[in-house]
Amino acid sequence: MKGIYKTSHNVYVIMEYCPDGDLQGLLKKKKKKKKTFNEGEAMSVLNCLLEGVAYLAENGIWHRDVKPSNILIKGDKYKICDYGFTTIVECDPTSVRDFTKVGTPLYCCPQILQGVSYSSKCDVFSIGVILYQMLFQRFPWKAQSLSELAEKVASQKIKYKDKISEEMKYILK
């Protein structure tokens, strides 16, 4: 973040220019070539994203809409952007207190989908979905409706049709 400007109605976050697009575009390019991220590449992205959400959480900020189109790329760095659904928590950032249904459903934690209280861990869950998407070029769950998605996310175990290491399975879990 380069700066922040507030008006009576808006807050503007000025970020550095990231000329390499976003993670969604990179996923699409790889899909056209029928490729996925290898585990090393995926871990590199994962580390950047976890550093970002850890920094936010330490400062009482929950992003609540971490998804590939909200991750900008500059060289080998991945930067979280689009803070439209962000909330600032005035108390312990690990506390469970929010009930607001926000975010992009395919990346939402079960608690947001069910409309029950959640914490800053909602951003970590979203990153897990992104990690799965990078490794397999698909989502962990298929659903025809929001209620079906909420049920599957809450109860259905992740399946690994493709071969990945036991360490990566542990991380995804």
State the residue for tokens 């930067």.
79
Say if residue 133 is exposed, middle or buried (CB neighbours under 10 Å; 0-12, 13-18, 19+).
buried
Phi, psi of 53 (to 5 degrees): -70, -30
Q: Can you give the length of the chain in residues? A: 173
Q: Is 155 exposed, middle or buried (0-12, 13-18, 19+ CB in 10 A)?
A: exposed
Rounded alpha-carbon distances, angstroms, from residue 45 to 87, 153, 155, 171: 24, 23, 27, 13
Separation between Cα atoms, residue 5 and residue 169, nearest integer Å: 42
Q: Is 162 a catalytic residue?
A: no
Q: What is the CA radius of gyration of the chain?
A: 16
Q: Check 22, 65, 98, 123 and give the catalytic one.
A: 65
Active site residues: 65
